[in-house]
Amino acid sequence: MNPAQEQIVGTSPLRKEGAAKVLGEAKYVDDLSLPGMWFGATVRSKIARGRIVSIKFGEEINWSEFVVVTAKDIPGTNTIVHLIQDHPCLADEFVNHPEEPILLLAHPDRARLPQAVAAVKIEYEPWPAVFTIEESERMDPIVWGEDNTFKSYVMEKGNVDSVWDDAAFIVEGEYRTGAQEQLYIENNGCIAEYSEEEGVTVHGSLQCPYYLHHALMVAFDLPEDKCRVIQTETGGAFGGKEDFPSVIGTHAALLAKKAGRPVKICYDRGEDMAATTKRHPSRTRHKTAVSRDGKLLGGEIEFAIDGGAYSTLSPVVLSRGTIHAAGAYLWPHLRIRAKAMATNIPPHGAFRGFGAPQSLFALERHMDKIAAVVGITPEELRRRNFLHPGDATATGQIVKDPIDMNAMLTRALEASDYHAKTARFAEENRTSTIKRGIGFASFFHGAGFTGSGERRLNSLVKLEVNPEGRVVILVSSTEFGQGTNTILCQVAAQALRIPYEEILIAQPDTKRVPNSGPTVASRTAMIVGRLVERACESLVQTLQTGAELKVAYTSEEFRQAALRYLAWHGELHASARYEPANEIFWDDENYRGDAYPAFAWAVYVAEVAVDMTTYAATCTNFWALQEVGKVLHPVLAAGQIEGGVAQGIGYALYEKCVWKEGAMANNQMTNYIMPTSADLPPIHVLFEEIPSIHGAFGAKGIGELPMDGPAPAILNAIEAATGIAFNECPLLPEDIFEAMTGHNGGSEDLDPAVAGPVFSGSTS
């Protein structure tokens, strides 16, 4: 290590693209234009399920000015490929959800499109549809496959049928979570171009350039080198731009091909909320055998998620939710039956956490219930059941992290003054109209793709040295606020021992960067970061053996060596391909083995106040303690936790999707309630660091972990405050009112027919 070079990993250098962002110079897709560009819009189904009988084009529009694309214009397969090919790119004869895309229109004047869309009159023969997990389970009608089930798993450990007879307690519970909208402040958008020579090029707001690349290949029947995807500066994603860009990108490309010119499609907020993916709603049923002294003997868990109309990523969301359903505890025996059901709702998709927030919500609520039944505190129950190093998880993975969850719990409860507050609130609540409570959730989150997923991804990272002798990182990993650019440059700077400021990272362009995998699953720091580290080591080696670079060097010496090498050889690259750090055993059939390369561990504590006048619960204070391996960039890492906790608080208390016949009725920011700066509590972030062998400089994944803890911690706190067990989120004041007073009038009774705000003069 060059003694003059500071340690950059573990410090907080300025965000690589940060200056442009604060200056307002960063260009997001709707800020961009291409010469001759037209604009596109989508004509969508107004019914949930049925047959298209006729399509008429209203005479008030001069259709010769427009380009119209239907399913017939799709050169390849009429599908948006995710895991399987059940998802039509454009509906042809049948529709299976409200907002399903049927036609695409393009015109040079953006302002003319809304009227044109409205002028396309489609007649349908409506068929019966299903809108909930329960309706889908009845299999009448069958809306997908043979039994409305996209995917199911059975995961077993030991022999759970043997535990019931000896159990001192058998505790059952049912828990539900609702859909949640990612609500990135930048809506989905892209610009597509087409030419015979170049093929299809799409510039877009997206997380996974190679996912869209693959989708284009299939829809256009084009080879790899005739499809190109370039990520533009992306204004938030959270999973909502993981699979959905495959839809909007293919649509824009179809219009560009037919129009013979570039086409931009940017959704407005109403369309984005109504038509794009959301978090899968879930229903979890627990039945748990517990010993007299509060040890988990075994359990049966039924975990069901609502996937919407097409399969998209539901099997993988289900997978992650299933594996996390047992949480951070030792289960001697376990059976989890999991299924993803089809409904006639716009397909659900990826959202930070990806199944784990759903199943962990259920588990952490259920643990508090078990504690109450057994007659011990929630804290004591956890302590008697935590996984320890050397224990086997629910999939039989041996815990290798030297994690001490007891110590984590102690630290979190001390930081939040949990015990004193529990006592004080119990006392004060007797006479106060504001009931206070404090609760916690303890959990883990697996980083990286499940099982052999990372091996299948086979990620590749490259470094290139440019003519000025500067190192450029080439990855398909995208920046969308979480700090990809910054942390990968930090890793490279440290591994190369040259200043952070001198490292460049290329805009993800599939023509230029290799496939380092999608930017999902909390894998970037851990998996891709480690590959960057290895590629850097390889580059230094190359220069030391081939360009006379000394063992200890200054950054200028490094650059000179690189220039020398370039002069001799013309180009200078290094690369690294994924290799697991050790053998990962994963049985995909039986869901047994090493589920994830690494886990992050956490204890979150929430304080709440429930106002008995308005029945409104607010989160008044929050502590988030996590062990995430090496914290590469403290400011970014804390920012990830704070942002994730804020989304989790929204999930718990504010963000309700109101549905009407399968359509989102509250698809406006006025009526889909996201917390403002006036609603969120102080969020205290604490880290433990146990460096992992897997990630760059010991980093593990961090992005999704914070989504898992807030909702159960908050509802646990609300139970402490009110004495009432609420088992569904979001939990609105109307729901608390209903439970406390026995009246109907919970949030299930929200009437989506009466929307708001109402507009002056435009209603009669």
| Residue list 255-294, contact with other proteins (CB under 8 A) | 268-270
Pick from 514, 577, 668, 687: which binds other proteins (CB under 8 A)?
668
How far CA 192 is from CA of 100, 109, 222, in Å, comes to 21, 17, 15
Closest by Cα among 163, 74, 62, 185 to 112 = 62
Task: Pick one of 150, 220, 440, 480: the residue that binds other proteins (CB under 8 A).
Answer: 480
CA–CA separation, 630 and 644 (whole Å): 19
Q: Write the binding mask 578 to 617 for other proteins: x where contact by CB under 8 A, - elsewhere.
A: ----------------------------------xxxxx-
* Residues 389-408 contacting other proteins, CB under 8 A: none
Give the nearer residue to other proteins in terms of CB position, either 351 or 599.
Answer: 351
x/- binding map, residues 706-735, to other proteins, per CB under 8 A? ---------------------------xx-
Stretch 123-142: interaction string toward other proteins, x if CB under 8 A: --------------------
Q: Is 72 helix (H, G, I), strand (E, B) or coil?
A: helix
**197 CB-near residues (< 8 Å, 6+ apart):** none
At residue 132, the 3 state secondary structure works out as coil
Between residue 7 and residue 46, which ones bind other proteins under the rule CB under 8 A?
Answer: 12, 14-15, 17-28, 30-31
Q: Is 16 exposed, middle or buried (CB count within 10 Å of its CB: 0-12, 13-18, 19+)?
A: buried
Beta strands in 158-295, from DSSP E residues, in sequence order: 169-177, 189-195, 199-204, 227-231, 263-266, 282-290
C-beta of residue 55 within 8 angstroms of C-beta of residue 288: no
Nearer CB in complex with other proteins: 60/165: 60
- Contact 458/578 with Cβ under 8 angstroms? yes
Distance of closest approach, residue 153 Cβ to other proteins, in angstroms: 32
Residue number with CB closer to other proteins (82 or 261): 261
- If binding is defined by CB under 8 A, does position 639 make contact with other proteins? yes
Q: Which is nearer to other proteins, 343 or 482 (CB)?
A: 482
- What is the closest distance, in whole angstroms, from the C-beta atom of residue 736 to other proteins in the complex? 10
Interacting positions 540-559 with other proteins (CB under 8 A): none
| Residue 357 φ then ψ, to 5° | -60, -35
Cβ(607)–Cβ(425) under 8 Å? no
**Nearer of residues 485 and 516 to other proteins, judged by Cβ:** 485
Neighbours of 542 (CB within 10 A): 20
Q: Find the binding residues for other proteins in span 363-392 (CB under 8 A).
A: none
CA-CA distance, 152 to 149, in Å (whole number)? 7
The token duo for 236 is 């938030």
**What whole-number distance in Å separates Cα of residue 302 and Cα of residue 335?**
8
From 133-141, 251-259, 302-310, 756-764, span contacting other proteins (CB under 8 A): 756-764
In the complex with other proteins, which residue's Cβ is closer, 471 or 645?
Answer: 645
Name the residue nearer to other proteins (CB basis): 89 or 750: 750
**What's the min distance (Å) between Cβ of 56 and other proteins?**
21
CA atoms within 13 A on the CB side of 223: 4
Size of site (CB under 8 A) for other proteins: 99
Q: Which helix (H) or strand (E) holds 252?
A: helix 245-259
Tokens of 242: 């993981």
Closer residue to other proteins (CB): 493 or 750? 750
Counting DSSP H helices and E strands in the chain, the numbers are 18, 28
Q: Minimum Å distance from CB 87 to other proteins?
A: 26
Among 86, 100, 233, 533, binds other proteins (CB under 8 A): 233
Residues within window 91-110 making contact with other proteins, judged by CB under 8 A: 110
Q: What are phi and psi of 442, to 5 degrees?
A: -120, 135
Task: Choose the stretch contacting other proteins; rule: CB under 8 A; options: 55-63, 232-240, 514-522, 595-603.
Answer: 232-240
- For 364-403, the three-class secondary structure string (H helix, E strand, C coil) is HHHHHHHHHHHCCCHHHHHHCCECCCCCECCCCCECCCCC
State yes or no: residue 755 binds other proteins (CB under 8 A): yes
**Cβ nearer to other proteins, comparing 432 with 582:** 432
Does position 434 bind other proteins by CB under 8 A?
no
- Which C-beta is closer to other proteins: that of 285 or that of 660? 660
Q: Around 200, how many Cα atoms within 13 Å sit in the side-chain half-sphere?
A: 35
In the complex, the smallest distance separating the C-beta of residue 337 from other proteins, rounded to whole angstroms, is 35
Q: Which residues pair with 608 in a beta bridge?
A: 437, 619
Q: Which of 636, 657, 707, 713 binds other proteins (CB under 8 A)?
A: 636
> How many Cβ atoms from other residues are within 10 Å of residue 675's Cβ?
17
Confirm or reject binding of residue 415 to other proteins (CB under 8 A): no
Site for other proteins in 160-219 (CB under 8 A): 182-187
Q: Does 539 bind other proteins (CB under 8 A)?
A: no
Task: Give the interface segment with other proteins, choosing from 308-316, 362-370, 497-505, 748-756 (CB under 8 A).
Answer: 748-756
Q: Is residue 315 a contact residue for other proteins (CB under 8 A)?
A: no
- The CA-based angle 416-422-424, given to 5 degrees, is 105
User: How far is the CA of 676 from the CAs of 367, 609, 611, 707, in angstroms?
Assistant: 31, 17, 19, 18
Work out whether 482 is an interface residue with other proteins (CB under 8 A). Answer: yes
Query: Which residues from 678-697 bind other proteins, rule CB under 8 A?
Result: 678-680, 682-683
- Smallest separation (angstroms) from other proteins to the CB of 469: 27
CB of 593 to other proteins, least distance (A): 35
